[in-house]
Structure 1
Amino acid sequence: SVLRAGVTSRDPHRSFSVPCQRFVSLRHAPGTVLSGCALVLSQPKSRSDKAQRQMLLRVAALLAAVAAKLPWQNTDSPRAAARRAFSTLQDGWSATYVPSKNASFIPRTKASETWFSVVAATDAEELRLLPHLLKHYAWIPPSRFVVVLHAPKRTATYREMAHHVEAFGAMGHVRWASPYSGAHKEAVRRFAFARLLQSKQMKFGDWVVHADSDEFVVFPDRSFEEVLSRAGKADVVGGMWTDRVADQGALAPIPEQDLWEAFPLNCAFRRKPKVVAYKLPRLVTDGAHAPLGKDAVFASDRGIVYHFKWHSHVLERLKERVEVKKRPRQFGGRGKQGAAHLVEALRAYLVDHDGICVSCKDMRAVCCRAPCDVDSLRPYEAFLRTDPSKPHYFAFGILLLLCGCCYAYLRRRAA
């Protein structure tokens, strides 16, 4: 009854004497609606108008609630509206979905489909690496690519990489604008998955091929499609890291032509397991080194994850990683600050040797020229943990001293 009676101000542009069904068609800004209510409420009233004032306050609250749901920014283009609709800021990270202009989505079928998820930095070397990555995983339809570009700033390199992704045929990409963090990286991936699941483009039961921009998965005996088709009840496909290094261990730039010939050495710096594919709703841990949950079923096939990390831009990337390691909680991580000096020592090693000293004595049987059996290589993770100060020896000495004091105290009491 209050809405049908209405409240009319003297300004014809602030008229509220409209029936309830016309509130949906209001196109005034929320500030105009509330200012009209404030104009009426500010007029002098007697004590007998207390009930009427309460009534008007309820009308103002209802108008504000309706006004907040109206599409006030109808002048925006559909592209800008979509970007605004899928923007988010949570837990210290921010990501925005940027749709492509002319991409066409292939309608999905009822059968399980395969998606490709990748996170890429936006620097010069990643720009050169991106075409090789898209070509390697081209067996997946471009409309099934979930691409995340880490771009805190809208640089020219970011715009060029976004153009490459759009020209390839991807439906769009997610721009990750917050500082780098391993924990945030997986959160941004899941943000992209949630958007696709909500729009019913992606469904539970679909396979997700999981990789970073410098990871190229290869199976020795069969193709990736055959591995997924014969997985059966398995919901996880695993792999093992193998680093690719240039001749003489040099930090070479990414070439435009044959990437495999430019980095011909297989090295076992860190033979660490890696999840290369999983079936939704299965997810993986930060870094994708293990699946979440204890009931995961691994496929019998195991891939080789060729890691093209040791290129000319690795020194700059390690410098940025030091800042993340020094302040892990600020960047969403859960690590300790002590890991920063390990990254600094690794960067100093690369600078001193002008790359990786593959001919040194401690590198024997660690690297071999492809093609070779990578399982026969000797893992040498100590290369990634170069630490000339060796602070753990000091801690071990203190522990021995405490044990000796406790032993002497117990012997004295027993006597």
Structure 2
Amino acid sequence: MAEIKLITCAGVEHDLALLPHFIAYYKALGIHTKNMYFILQASESDSHEMKKAQAILHQDGITAAEIWIAPYTSATMWEKRREIQLCVANKEDWVISADVDEFHEFPDKLSVFLSYCDKKEINCVQGVFIDRLTSDGSLAAIKASPPLWEQFPVQADVICTIRQVEENGWENGTVNIMACKGDLLPERGGHFPLNHGSPIKYIFGSRQLAKFNGIKAATTRFQIPLRVHHFKWNQALLQSLQKRLATAGVSTHGQSYGNLLLQHLGEDQRIQIEKMPIRKSGTLDKLPWRTQLALLKLRNDSSSLYRKILSKIR
């Protein structure tokens, strides 16, 4: 019987406060804790943070799939995630591979939505990042309560706004795989699947989301009803970022983006929220999600017809 598997990696030196929120959120989506596979990473063995992370997992009956003691690099982390996926998932299963600061919002109950994808023979579901900020953009500490949505209420577009000074290709980082079939492995970064020779059917048609018409515009991304709520922008960000940039093996793109982010944070160490596009409810949000998906596919194929239909809806 097909199941939903969750695979993640938590850097225990920086991500401890996120762990209880992450586990509770994906349990609420309907993923059983027996299908949650955590890689716990630390620079040193037997650290206080590692013991605390394991204790948090054990409260929900979860044993870490791997204890990874080494400096963090993105390349190694994604290799480990793929290895776990190959071990625990078959081709009929659905896999959600999410960082602990990534909370995937699906447009319906997860089981209902994935059944829809199965019927449509879709094997890769991509969504867009929605950066979650405090009301003033400050990098606040994550608290046990209230829910993260209340601690970080602003839905913004930080990643793209900062990266637009880079040359072509920055839009790849604006999308992420939210769910894929067990035989479809994510590439480094998790933005799109590795080309493994099998046909890939994306939720919006034949092209991956980074090639979607208008994807570079925040107004387009804000309309897509598949969202990765990104709680990266908290008190642990600066120390984590500085450490990763100083670690051998950081990618060229990671180095570039990290330096741009440090420049943006500046002396105030805050996201300049006044410079960010902010997401608010739009026309498509009022429609049933299946209608939203159909219209967005139409936009990808025929922008003029899409605009004509949208004008009538308004």
1:367 maps to: 278
1:229 maps to: 115
Residues 318 and 344 of structure 1 are in contact (CA less than 8 Å); yes or no, is this contact kept in structure 2?
no
Q: 1:216 aligns with which of 103, 112, 128?
A: 103
2:203 maps to: 299
Query: TM-score w.r.t. structure 2 length?
Result: 0.71
Change (3 A) 1:113 1:339: closer
Of the two structures, which has the highest relative contact order with CA contacts closer than 8 Å and spacing of 6 or more? 2
Alignment of 1:184-223 (within 5 A): 184-196=76-88, 202-219=89-106, 221-223=107-109
Q: Distance in 1 between matches of 2:254 and 2:190?
A: 20
2:288 maps to: none
Q: Deviations over 1:169-189 (max 9, x none)?
A: 224431111221111111111
Q: CA deviation at 1:229?
A: 1.1
Residue aligned with 1:217, SS:
strand
Q: CA deviation at 1:262?
A: 0.8
Change (3 A) 1:375 1:122: farther
Q: CA deviation at 1:342?
A: 5.2
Unmatched 5+ residue regions in structure 2? 161-173, 205-223, 286-314
Residues 268 and 374 of structure 1 are in contact (CA less than 8 Å); yes or no, is this contact kept in structure 2?
no
Q: Distance in 2 between matches of 1:190 and 1:282?
A: 9
Residues 237 and 302 of structure 1 are in contact (CA less than 8 Å); yes or no, is this contact kept in structure 2?
no
Alignment of 1:244-283 (within 5 A): 244-257=132-145, 258-270=147-159, 272-283=174-185
Residue aligned with 2:178, SS:
strand
Residue type at the aligned position of 1:278: C
Residue type at the aligned position of 1:114: I
Q: 2:232 aligns with which of 309, 323, 330?
A: 309
1:145 maps to: 36
Paired positions, count: 245
Residue aligned with 2:158, SS:
coil
Q: Deviations over 1:5-30 (max 9, x none)?
A: xxxxxxxxxxxxxxxxxxxxxxxxxx
Q: Distance in 2 between matches of 1:287 and 1:342?
A: 13
2:53 maps to: 161
Q: Distance in 2 between matches of 1:315 and 1:375?
A: 36
Residue type at the aligned position of 2:246: E
Alignment of 1:32-111 (within 5 A): 111=1
Residue aligned with 1:312, SS:
coil
Unmatched 5+ residue regions in structure 1? 1-110, 197-201, 377-415
Q: CA deviation at 1:355?
A: 0.5
Structure 1 residues 288-297 or 338-347, which shifts more? 338-347
Structure 1 residues 263-272 or 130-139, which shifts more? 263-272
Q: Distance in 2 between matches of 1:373 and 1:242?
A: 15
Residues 42 and 69 of structure 2 are in contact (CA less than 8 Å); yes or no, is this contact kept in structure 1?
yes
2:190 maps to: 288
Change (3 A) 1:265 1:283: same
Residue aligned with 1:209, SS:
strand
State the structure with more CA Rg.
1
Change (3 A) 1:252 1:150: same
Q: Distance in 2 between matches of 1:186 and 1:306?
A: 20
Q: Distance in 2 between matches of 1:284 and 1:162?
A: 26
Change (3 A) 1:241 1:374: farther
Q: Deviations over 1:311-368 (max 9, x none)?
A: 01111011112113xx43xxxx6x34x9646524532431423301222xxx16x124
Q: Distance in 1 between matches of 2:256 and 2:159?
A: 19
1:343 maps to: 258
Residue type at the aligned position of 1:239: G
Residue aligned with 2:114, SS:
helix
Residues 33 and 61 of structure 2 are in contact (CA less than 8 Å); yes or no, is this contact kept in structure 1?
yes
Query: TM-score w.r.t. structure 1 length?
Result: 0.55
Q: CA deviation at 1:164?
A: 1.2
Residue aligned with 1:212, SS:
coil
Q: Distance in 2 between matches of 1:214 and 1:268?
A: 16
Change (3 A) 1:214 1:373: farther
Residue aligned with 1:285, SS:
coil
Change (3 A) 1:341 1:287: closer
Let me know the Cα RMSD of the aligned residues. 2.4
Change (3 A) 1:285 1:242: same
Greater than 6 Å deviation, 4+ residue runs: none
Change (3 A) 1:279 1:340: closer
Residue type at the aligned position of 2:115: S
Q: CA deviation at 1:117?
A: 0.7
Q: Distance in 2 between matches of 1:180 and 1:239?
A: 25
Q: Distance in 1 between matches of 2:262 and 2:154?
A: 20
